[in-house]
Amino acid sequence: MKIAVFPGSFDPITTGHVRIVKRALPIFDKVVVAVGINSQKKYLYTLEQRLNWLEEVFGDEPKIEIASYEGLTAHYCNKIGAGFLLRGLRNASDFDYEKTISQLNNIVGKNLETVFLISEPAYSHISSSIVREIIRGGGDASPFLPATLKLPKL
């Protein structure tokens, strides 16, 4: 069984994330959308809220599983039997960063392969950090979020 993990903070999940996952479905038997928990990072939304959003967005797709994990992503992949990491690339900077991480994950994760999907042009400008800035600034982030997503007031 070909299992891929799509890791992220999903703080919040964006339409760019959704498109990467949906495009990966024909490639893999199962895609685990996994929220990585980093105790050093300050999140805008709670883990529970982010997991609920992922369930809302992907809950009706039988090939998608929602999870959370702590520690190294490569170790989590090994633990659940995933042979692939799924990553989206928006630009050359993403590639440079992700290439290094994928090489380290291949060693730490015992031959864990990273599969890169290049963002479609309509989504290449969207990032969670930019969306968070729009939200913090009181702007309308809805063009960058899944239609079903309802953000709580900050």
Whole-number Å distance between alpha carbons of 29 and 97: 27
> What secondary structure letter does DSSP report for 91?
S
Cα radius of gyration (the chain)? 15
Active site annotation includes 42: no
Q: Are 36 and 69 in contact (CB under 8 A)?
A: yes
User: Catalytic residue among 9, 17, 87, 102, which?
Assistant: 17
Active site annotation includes 41: yes
Three-class secondary structure of residue 37 per DSSP: strand
User: Catalytic residue among 41, 42, 150, 153, which?
Assistant: 41
Whole-number Å distance between alpha carbons of 146 and 122: 14
Active site annotation includes 17: yes
Residue type, 3: I
Residue type, 39: S
Active site annotation includes 63: no
The answer to whether the peptide bond before residue 143 is cis (omega within 30 degrees of 0) is: no
User: Catalytic residue among 19, 90, 99, 132, which?
Assistant: 90
Helices (H), 88-153: 92-108, 128-136
Catalytic annotation, residues: 17, 41, 90, 128
